Amino acid sequence: MQVHGFLKKIKIASTGLFLAELAVYAVFVLLYYFLVLHFLGARVKQVFDANKIHYAILALVLIVVQGVSLEMLTSALLRVIRRKAR
Amino acid sequence: MDFLISGTHIDPVYLMGIGFIVGILGGFFGVGGSFLAGPALFAAGMPMNFVVGTDLAHIVGKSIVAAKKHRALGNVDIKLGMIMVTGTIAGVETGAQVIQHLKHNANVDIVVAYGFILVLLSISLFIGWESWQTLKMLAKPDSRKSIAADAARRFKKDAPLTARMPRYVKSAQDETGQVKKDASVLTHVTKRIHRFQLPPMISLPVSGIEQISLWSILGGAYVGGVFSGFLGGGAGYVRMPAMVYLLGVPTHVAVGTDLFEIVISASYGTLTHAVKGNVDIMVALVMHTGAAIGAQIGATLTQYFHGPRIRLAFVPLPLIGAGLVIYSLVTGHHFK
């Protein structure tokens, strides 16, 4: 029974930490949205209108760079959750 | 938020929400999720040509996150993925040619729609039946004893891996030494395919396959590619089950390897669609901010489920896809 209660406490603590980390992630994403994506739109549109091949390469580079960097950010956040849960 | 390239106005929170849901599904099942993201973008008012290309671009970013996570968990067979890409691309071209042929000779929309419904319903029914039978078999007491005996035999390292397994259990060991175990009532089908000895024969240690003909892998990938080219999307709903049932890859490794393959094939698709002006990369970038965290969660969740349970949970996905096509046939709203 004691073990069960202990596990339950850990589960509640992990969920709380997870929600806290989600909030941190949301702040990061909001900052990223306003600082980068908001100003990037017009410049990317210029490339889209000027040259489709350049635009295709730029589009792939942007999504790959964002994919890798957000993977690093989310991994780091999930590592922090696990460390704190222990 | 105004998206200048596609000329649409979409709430970024809506895009992040779609990305998050599709991210969880992609990370857990190893599918691109175009059957959900496509209709959701269309419903938001995006023109159909942009829906297909933008969805592919978002799939690239999401699959990078999920594939990296699966790689860390030892679930990606890079050698198998690279071979499958070759077969998939050839299959996609064939599927696209079939579509071109149908455009001249028949009502292509009706043929594709009925083909799509038939394939999705068959996959769903088949996987549902197989995973249910496997779970029932594993619940029998003698099966449990057999698996316990198998675990005891595992310590004898001199015996070959397959000799230490009950006949319905397949297993693979990744580079870190972690064992990926899976069970299926259809291992006799897999063994029959493994007995096809047309050279060159290759081994896939990460997937636990000691010897298989290269042509079996290319053939499986080619069929998946034909579906992808013919029906649209990444066809992960065909490729993932094909890897499990035909090639004998454990479900966890099939999910991770499928995601790795999706990164390459969706990148190729993004480039070709972007050159034609069919990608609004800003929409894809916003969607991906939600998908990144969803994909991490989905990939992590696979650790807590056995292969047959993952497959059973997979059953509703093709049904949702089939439901959307039936809806578009009845109402005349085209999602794909």
Contacts with A59 from chain B: Cβ below 8 Å: 57, 270, 274, 279, 281, 284
- Specify the pLDDT at position B168: 47
Q: Pick the residue from chain B with its C-alpha nearest to A59.
A: B281
Using the predicted structure, report yes or no on whether residue B148 has a pLDDT greater than 60. no
Cβ of A52 within 8 Å of Cβ of B5? The answer is no
Min Cα separation A5/chain B (Å): 21
- Specify the pLDDT at position B154: 44
- B100-129 pLDDT, tens digit per residue, is 777 676 666 677 778 778 887 888 888 888
Cβ of B282 within 8 Å of Cβ of A63? The answer is no
Cβ of B61 within 8 Å of Cβ of A41? The answer is no
- DSSP assignments along B134-192, one per residue: HHHHHHSHHHHHHHHHHHHHTT-TTS-TGGGS-TTEEEEE-TT--EEEEE-TTHHHHHH
Q: Pick the residue from chain A with its C-alpha nearest to B6.
A: A45
Task: For an interface test with A, give the residue of B24, B65, B260 to mutate (most A CBs within 10 A).
Answer: B65
- Specify the pLDDT at position B92: 80
Nearest to B289 among A60, A64, A70 (CB): A70
Which residue(s) pair with B204 in the sheet? Answer: B209
Cβ of B57 within 8 Å of Cβ of A59? The answer is yes
Nearest to A74 among B65, B272, B286 (CB): B65
Burial class of residue B96 in the structure, from the number of CB atoms within 10 Å of its CB (0-12 exposed, 13-18 middle, 19+ buried): middle
Using the predicted structure, report yes or no on whether residue A56 has a pLDDT greater than 90. yes
Interface of A with B (CB under 8 A): 22, 25, 29, 32-33, 37, 40-42, 44-45, 48, 52-53, 55-60, 62-64, 66-68, 70-71, 73-75, 78
> Is the entire prediction scored with pTM above 0.80?
no
Q: Which structure tokens are listed for B250?
A: 């454990």
Average pLDDT, rounded, for chain B: 77
Cβ of A64 within 8 Å of Cβ of B274? The answer is no
- B4-23 pLDDT, tens digit per residue, is 888 888 888 899 888 888 88
- Specify the pLDDT at position B333: 63
User: In whole angstroms, what is the distance from residue B197 CA to residue B192 CA?
Assistant: 10
Q: Pick the residue from chain A with its C-alpha nearest to B287.
A: A63
Cis omega (within 30 of 0) on the bond before B205? Answer: no
Cβ of B58 within 8 Å of Cβ of A55? The answer is no
Q: Which structure tokens are listed for B137?
A: 């078999």
Q: Is the reported ipTM for this assembly greater than 0.95?
A: no
Least confident of A15-24, B54-63, B251-260, B261-270: A15-24
Using the predicted structure, report yes or no on whether residue B249 has a pLDDT greater than 50. yes
